[in-house]
Amino acid sequence: MSSDLEQFYEVFFEESSELLAEMEACLLGLDVNSPDMEDMNAIFRAAHSIKGGAGTFGFTDMTEMTHMLETLLDKLRKGELEVRSEMIDAFLKAGDVIKDQLAGHRGDGEADPAAAVAVCEELSKFSEEVSGAAEMPAVEVKVSAESAPPVAKLTEDNVSISTTERTVFLIEFPNSELNEKVRSNLLSNLSEMGQLEKLVFGETESRSKLRLITDSTEENVWEVLAFVVDPTNLIIEIEALTKDSASMQLSADKLAVGADESELEEPYGFFPDAPGNTTKPYGFFPGSPAAPADTKDDEVKPGNCKVSINNKNTSSARVSTNFAETSSIRVSIEKVDQMINLVGELVITQAMLAQTASEVDPVVFEKLLSGLNQLERNTRDLQESVMSIRMLPISFVFSRFPRVVRDLASKLNKQIELKQVGEGTELDKGLIEKIADPLTHLIRNSLDHGVEMPDVRIAAGKPAQGTITLRAFHQGGSIVIEVGDDGAGLNREKILAKAKERGLPVHDGMPDSEVWMLIFEAGFSTAAVVTDVSGRGVGMDVVKRNISAMGGRVEIESALGIGTRISVRLPLTLAILDGLSVGVGDQMFIVPLTYIIESLQPTAKDIKSVSGRGRVVQVRGEYLPVVALHEVFNLRPISEEIHDGILVILEAEGHKAAMLVDTLIGQHQVVIKSLESNYRRVQGVSGATIMGDGKVALILDTAALVTSSYKESV
């Protein structure tokens, strides 16, 4: 497969995935009692677009499924059927099947043929409900001058678009972009949309040119073509109807109302290379029809339909120009990452220049320093702009949860409404991909453990329908994602009893915040019955581990009988970091600012030794374990005594610790480099960066240091 063709396949896969997501969102938001026609049309267009692309590439399984879906949706749009909840279920199942088929063609798995057959049978049953209408005897249609709509309005050289809404599209694209199979399928799909004339389609010229007369929309024409032709090389123009085109159109309309083909002025032609049998014309093109002898230049009389003149020329619209002016473009993530990496190197170079310039005489080199200051501002602006390219709205993750809530609530026989707040909040693409699974676990946990059964809620004076709220917002340099429910809340006594039963180090005087964090312990579960949804104690520990790996932390608030709110706090991006640089001996380390509470210099009386468990420091009545950084990395410190150094108070995963360093150097925004891919994994280190003087500084894995110190102290 050529690289160009691979590119078109990839465009099809991406756009089909987006269309499926859009279709699912519309289905989930559809009001069965009063369906919105805009939503119905959007669902229909999504199915139609996927069918067109699948047919072009020869993915017959997807074409068949989307065709059945499209047919049923069309009947719903026309009011031949009424929307019912079981239809929505069938449509969602069909979407799942198409997703699997798409993944199969992409090489990410295999679709289940049995599931496709089952869904097709289900859709067929709904279609059969209006089959009686199709079996009704045909009604003879007679066209008169009074009843027939005008088809075209002629001028000497042009015809305006008529009230039948037929349009002539001129289509042009490079021949080199299509292989024989794709070309054949494309011709078939276009000819199904209307009358297609082949002007140039072959190897004789570098570009293919087609003329399509159709009552389909401009959007549908683009959908069929954009999957296989690079849109930047594609030109679609709306052409003013010529007399020849008008005659061709009139003949088509005449045939549509029952005229015999022999009555037409010119016979229809066939594409010689069109697929399928030749008894059905895949595309039509006219000969050179002449106006009837008794017709004036300003009037055409096909049959008994009179069409009057219109002297206004129809202007042409170049769609490719509109496409070039769209507000977004597709760029591979590899190119974006490469640009971010280069900007990161630029930031490091700028820091080096600033470090060197700080040693020169500011009076003599005033202009140089002024220029470097301007460079620093521009570099920071450029870095922020480039980083924003990777930012995506969190709706990319949130959009999958309405389906999760709907399916699981139905399975658990619960009534649950999902509310989403702050879907436009932006987050780094790398974090978007990694946060989806942890949030799914949290949503499922709220569904199963949080929200009660309807009868229990009613008995407690609550509405039968529970509510789960997904909320995202920016706070400082972080993004906070909350999963809240109005359910039963966490039971402190039950959690402590289970923890004691499992031998965990707990006591009755623990604050609520620490008790709630016990649900993230591996294998911990308070469920009385193990189900296929939850109860095995698997999942929540993975949530905590994955969020910690992203440099984030989890917090829980809960009130018995009122509900629970779990907050996930993440950095906005994984590429840059706001950190505090600290010195230990002759080495420099970076501590992420999000973990730092305060820094202080302790007194000797605040330091206590615990036999066999290291040292602790008293900070405002609370004893915290001391993490001596020089001991962790086997370095020679400036001073061995704790009270001669500086303690940085850290908090991670609900625990606090005091990290001992020699000096505080300053606050920096650093570009994160992977230490593991460039060297090897180092315990207690999450990455590295290059400072302004060219030296490498290690970025501390603060969460791991705090957690290990807590385990050693209990």
Last residue of a domain, one of 523, 542, 571: 571
Regarding whether 654 and 548 lie in a shared domain, the answer is no
pLDDT tens figures, 651-696: 876 688 999 999 999 887 787 877 777 777 788 888 888 877 778 8
Residue 5 is predicted with a pLDDT of 57
User: Distance (Å, rounded) from C-alpha 623 to C-alpha 607?
Assistant: 9
User: In the predicted model, is pLDDT for residue 162 greater than 50?
Assistant: no
- Cα Dmax for the chain: 116
- Total number of domains in the chain: 5
- Specify if 148 maps to a domain: no
Residues 559 and 525 in one domain: yes
Residue 22: per-residue pLDDT: 84
Q: Which of 111, 96, 39, 91 is nearest to 400 (CA)?
A: 96
Q: How far apart are CA 217 and CA 242, in angstroms?
A: 20
Is residue 146 in some structural domain? no
Q: End of a domain among 552, 571, 590?
A: 571
Domain identity same for 418 and 527: yes
Burial of 255 by CB count in 10 Å (0-12 exposed, 13-18 middle, 19+ buried)?
middle
Instruction: Give the helix/strand (H/E) hosting 501.
Output: helix 492-501
Residue 426 or residue 234, greater confidence: 426
Please say which residue of 96, 129, 162 terminates a domain: 129
Helices and strands in the chain, H and E counts = 22, 24
| pLDDT on residue 141 | 33
Give 501: exposed, middle or buried? Use CB within 10 Å, 0-12, 13-18, 19+: exposed
- Domain for residue 65, yes or no? yes
Could you tell me the two tokens for 368? 């140089």
Q: Can you give the residue range of the structural domain that contains 581?
A: 576-713
The answer to the question of residue 137 being in a domain is no
Taking 50 as the threshold, does the pLDDT of residue 454 lie above it?
yes
| Top-confidence residue, 442 or 178 | 442
Q: Both 100 and 201 in a single domain?
A: no
| 359-414 residue pLDDT tens | 888 888 888 989 988 998 898 888 878 878 878 888 888 888 888 888 888 888 99
Do the domain assignments include residue 120?
Answer: yes
Is the domain of 8 the same as that of 119?
yes
Q: For the segment 266-307, what is each residue's pLDDT rounded down to a tens digit?
A: 333 333 333 333 333 333 333 333 333 443 444 333 333 332
Query: Does 496 lie in the same domain as 448?
Result: yes
The confidence band for 458, taking pLDDT boundaries of 50, 70 and 90, is very high
Do both 289 and 166 map to the same domain?
Answer: yes
Residue 432 lies in a domain: yes
Residues 123 and 72 in one domain: yes
pLDDT tens digit string along 513-523? 888 888 888 76
Calculate what percentage of the chain has a pLDDT beyond 70: 76
